[in-house]
Amino acid sequence: MTSQPTIGFADLALSKPVLDALKRIGYEQPSPIQAEAIPHLLEDHDLIGTAQTGTGKTAAFALPLLSKIDLKNAHPQVLVLAPTRELAIQVAEAFKTYASEMKGFNVLPIYGGQAMDTQLRQLRRGAHVVVGTPGRVMDHLRRKTLKLDSLKTIVLDEGDEMLRMGFIDDVEWILDQTPSERQVALFSATMPAPIRRVADKYLNTPKVVKIVSKTSTVESIEQRFWMVSGLHKLDALTRILEVEDFDGIIMFVRTKALTVELAEKLEARGYSASAINGDMTQALRERTIGQLKKGQIDILVATDVAARGIDVQRISHVVNYDIPYDTEAYVHRIGRTGRAGRTGKAILFVAPRERRLLRAIENATRQPIKPMELPTRQQVNEKRANQFKDSITEALGHDNLNFFHQIIQSYLEENDVDPIQLAGALAYMAQKDKPLVLEEGSKKSQKEARGIKGRSLASERPFKERESKSFRPDKEDLPKSKRGNPKIPMDNYRIEVGKNHNAMPGDIVGAIANEADVEPKHIGHIELQDDHSYIELPVGMPKIVFQSLKKIRVRNQPLNIERTDHVAKPSATSAQPAKGKKKTYTKKPKKKKVKRGS
């Protein structure tokens, strides 16, 4: 039996900018639904795609549709309907990633719960692709703020989910508003009768792509997940590593930058860890894998692409620090353990908004993933104590202890000390940099448990370590005002966006809040000038966040953020009432109702 040739993305007639983006991301081989769906969508056929969540269907429609986008036309050419806000945001982010080499491309997610005026401004600015929930898309169509005159393709994502949530009538109404000459792509995990009726009514001789999920046998691997809550992910990971008996670990993250960042943080906490990603040369990659095989390092922090082909028998655990969007990627990841008849363990970190991906993984593997409880403080302390006892037993087996015996004997003769007290003092000397007791009662003890010494925790880490591009103040570390609210220390920055670019404080706050994942209430004064502005941001911005902020655009103008000594003074237009407090007026407001767009 001859094996079929492997199809690469380069074989699928995608545009050069899209292929360049895929190469930069590290995608090499399309999933089955991508390989089958992309050619049909490139040739303008209508399409019915039946595939489970997590099979790569977002790329299956995003890549070909981006290849056909006319960047000179700023009106919506693609409309994607998604059942939930979370999925709409996720799909919009995927479009943005795949279009990273397309200069001037804009994608806009629209959904309920987001300020209508923000969406109106962005629609007026122009978007090539709009991704939205049915209800909010209907609102904009009725207001005539979303115009579909230039629409080429409409995608119905997760059709059966929209049916389950009661959106099917809304979807049909939206389809009736689209031009008669347009391409329709319908993706659904199942095809119940109402979905089939929509397909028969609105799709024109569609091509059908059906991907049957393969049974993934991972019976030799114990799978558990931790629902991210309370503790920060890195602190939770450290606690798990303290209690788990592991040999070698591969830890998966989504981005190349996070491989380096997480490996460095694990090293700082006493673990032998190293990063492996697509930026490494083949020689360095092979050397790092060799170190893992020889036991010179115990933890490898990797991306999916960089971990391909790794076969190291000592890997006892796979940790999914970031949940994969693709269920096949999950199966490939955990397949790095449990080899050669050995049992393995897989641990998955799941944020509350990622529950849908967890369900998709369980459906694809046809196995439930058990929830896990974080090790308690007592379990961590017991583990540390047992390890210390083991180290004592090992030390007692050494031959050349006579010199130390003489010193101890001499000390006991010169000082009236109980031998147990002396042993305790020696144990303290040996472990003072790595305490055997995990304290949770105070910041100081937590700091010592992590091996952080010297400066106060507030000055060392004024922001919680979150994702690689996130920073938020840790309220417990901040001084309190008389009202009990935290006073956040600020740094001053200059940005190359101002009044001449029609920028408003809300534009700047929105862009920075989204990119840096910092709450708008933690952003300080904004002083608008003609061709630049000044802004206050919380102290302790991570380098990776600063670099990403330099590149983002506000009103199509690069932010080019830089530190400055100029202290921002609030612009008149930036004054906003505090959240949860009523706005005060110098004059009593008139009883006449003011019509507001919401």
496 domain residue, yes or no: yes
- In tens digits, the chain (598 residues) has pLDDT values of 444 456 788 889 899 999 999 888 777 678 888 999 999 999 999 999 987 666 678 899 999 999 999 999 999 999 999 988 878 888 998 899 899 999 999 999 998 877 888 889 889 989 999 999 999 999 999 999 999 999 999 999 988 888 888 889 999 999 999 998 999 999 988 888 899 999 999 999 999 998 875 545 566 788 999 988 766 888 889 888 888 888 899 999 988 888 999 999 998 888 899 998 877 877 788 788 889 988 899 999 998 777 766 778 889 999 999 988 777 778 878 888 876 567 889 999 998 878 888 988 888 788 889 998 877 777 777 777 777 777 778 777 777 788 888 888 888 878 888 888 888 888 778 776 666 666 654 343 344 333 333 322 222 233 333 333 345 444 443 444 433 445 578 888 999 998 888 888 888 888 887 777 677 778 888 999 988 999 998 887 777 778 778 878 887 788 889 888 888 887 654 434 334 333 333 444 444 444 444 3
Q: Which amino acid is at 578?
A: A
Domain shared by 85 and 230, yes or no: no
| 8 Å CB contact between 102 and 124 | no
**Nearest Cα residue to 53 out of 33, 80, 23:** 33
State the Cα–Cα distance between residues 302 and 26, nearest whole angstrom: 13
Structural domain containing residue 107: 9-210
Closest to 154 (Cα-Cα) out of 140, 172, 135? 172
Q: Are residues 230 and 367 in the same domain?
A: yes
Q: What is the pLDDT of residue 570?
A: 73
Domain boundary pick from 188, 210, 232: 210
Q: Which of 349, 368, 64 is nearest to 207 (CA)?
A: 64
Q: Decide: 112 and 133 in contact? Cβ < 8 Å.
A: yes
Count the domains in the chain.
3
> Which residue is it, tokens 């196995």?
367
Domain match, 205 and 225 both: no
**In the numeric block, which tokens belong to residue 117?**
């005026």
Q: Where are the alpha helices (DSSP H) in 165-217?
A: 168-177, 193-202
Predicted TM-score of the model (pTM): 0.48
Closest CA to 438 of 236, 301, 255: 236
Instruction: CATH number of the domain at 234, please.
Output: 3.40.50.300
Candidates 10, 16, 17, 52; CA nearest to 35 is 10
- Give the rounded distance of the alpha carbon of 250 from its chain centre: 18
Same domain, 205 and 252: no
CATH number at residue 472: 3.30.70.330
Residues 186 and 228 grouped into a single domain: no
* Same domain as 308, residue 226: yes
Helical segments of 207-255, H only: 233-243
- 451 within a domain of the structure (yes/no): no
Q: Are residues 84 and 184 in the same domain?
A: yes
Query: Is 242 domain-assigned?
Result: yes
Q: Which of 174, 189, 182 is nearest to 363 (CA)?
A: 189
Same domain for 194 and 226, yes or no, is no
Total length of the chain: 598
Residue 445 has a pLDDT of 35
pLDDT at position 133: 92
Task: Check whether residue 229 and residue 201 sit in a common domain.
Answer: no
